[in-house]
Amino acid sequence: MKEYKLENSANYMLLEIPAQSENESFVRVVVAAFAARLDPTLEEINELKTAVSEAVTNGILHAYDYGKGVIRIFVSVDNQHLSVEVHDFGKGIADIARAREPLYTEKPELERSGMGFTIMENFMDDLLVESKPGQGTVVKMLKIFGKTAEINH
Amino acid sequence: MQVQLIRRKKNLIVRLKGELDHHTADIFRHSVEKELKKKGNQNLIINVTGLTFMDSSGIGVILGRYKQVKDKGGQVAICGLDKHHQRILQLGGLLNIIPVFGNESQALINLK
């Protein structure tokens, strides 16, 4: 797994949590608070929180199969660009293209919709998934803030 | 998340308050599942006015209840959707199968 590129980041935060579902809410609120400096619209914040929630939920639900593990969230900001990386160190994804397909889920019995990656793609400006079986997964997302304001002025 | 259940004749109204995610979806699922198994409930109206957050867990749990109600010949409606939550349910294809109303009264009038 690639390491965080701290030297390129104007400012950043790093957060680590145990892979427990009760932490999902905490993570998205922290990331939203970090993004507040970009003067986001309510819509931008809602999109960011939902995408982060999807990535963290994937890590908690799929990476460790209910065993112990950690999720690391690295967020960096450069002008109006916010980059979010969600790292897990679990079982990895064998077929990333298939995992990203709408409605594909490995846990239909838990009423998972299989729409997590589709929502991340729709609500963020860029999405990259890197994974190695047995080593873990990194979801990298980019969001550009203030796009609507630029068009209006 | 808080789940409030109200019976109106053969309609079960569910008012959701707070955050609907992977962690809280089970609260919604279990309380409604249990209530739907009781006699007399046929239709389900999901009021999401009080929701402050929803992710794809919402799609899964609403779809699950839709199947449960449909199997017994009932109808499902959603009311109180804001723009952001509407986008999420739209991506999941739910708005093609479940009608959306402004409030509970409009849903009650339109369900048979």
Domains and CATH numbers, chain B: 2-110 (3.30.750.24)
Residue A45 counted as domain residue: yes
**Is ipTM over 0.85?**
yes
Question: What CATH number does the domain containing A72 carry?
Answer: 3.30.565.10
In-domain check, residue A1? no
Q: What are the phi and psi torsion angles at B108 (to 5°)?
A: -60, -40
By C-alpha distance, the chain B residue nearest A117 is B56
B20: which chain A residues are within 8 Å (Cβ-Cβ)?
A: none
Active site residue A54: yes
Q: Which residue of B has its CA nearest to A21?
A: B23
The total domain count for chain A is 1
Binned at pLDDT 50, 70 and 90, residue B70 comes out as very high
Chain B residue at shortest CA distance from A28 = B53
The answer for residues whose C-beta is within 8 angstroms of residue B77's C-beta and 6 or more apart is: B43, B44, B45, B46, B98, B99, B100, B101, B107, B110, B111
Q: Is residue A4 part of a domain?
A: no
**Mutation site, B19, B20, B23, interface A, largest A CB count within 10 A:** B23
Per-position DSSP letters for A19-81, written without gaps between them: S-GGGHHHHHHHHHHHHGGG---HHHHHHHHHHHHHHHHHIIIIISTTS--EEEEEEEEETTE
Judged by a CB distance cut-off of 8 A, whether residue A58 touches chain B is: no
Q: Is A23 a catalytic residue?
A: no
Q: What is the pLDDT of residue A5?
A: 63
Chain A hits for B67, CB-CB cut-off 8 Å, are none
Examine residue A5 and state whether it is found in any structural domain, yes or no: no
Q: Do A25 and B23 touch (CB under 8 A)?
A: yes
In the predicted structure, residue A9 carries a pLDDT above the cut 70: no
How far is the alpha carbon of B62 from chain A, nearest alpha carbon, in Å? 9
The chain-wide mean pLDDT, for chain A, equals 92
d(CA B89, CA B95) in angstroms, rounded, equals: 6
How does pLDDT run across B2-39, given as a tens digit for each residue?
999 999 999 999 999 999 999 999 999 999 999 998 87
Within 8 A of A43 by CB-CB distance, chain B residues are 83-84
Active site residue A28: no
Do the chains contact at B56 and A113, CB–CB below 8 Å?
A: yes
Residue A127 lies in a domain: yes
Q: Global pTM?
A: 0.93
- Whether residue A3 is contained in a domain is answered as no
pLDDT in tens, A93-117: 999 999 999 999 999 989 999 999 9
Nearest to A53 among B21, B59, B92 (CB): B21
Tell me: pLDDT of A152 over 60: no
Cβ contact A140:A128 at 8 Å: yes
Residue A144 structural domain: 11-152
The answer to whether B34 touches B27, Cβ cutoff 8 Å, is no
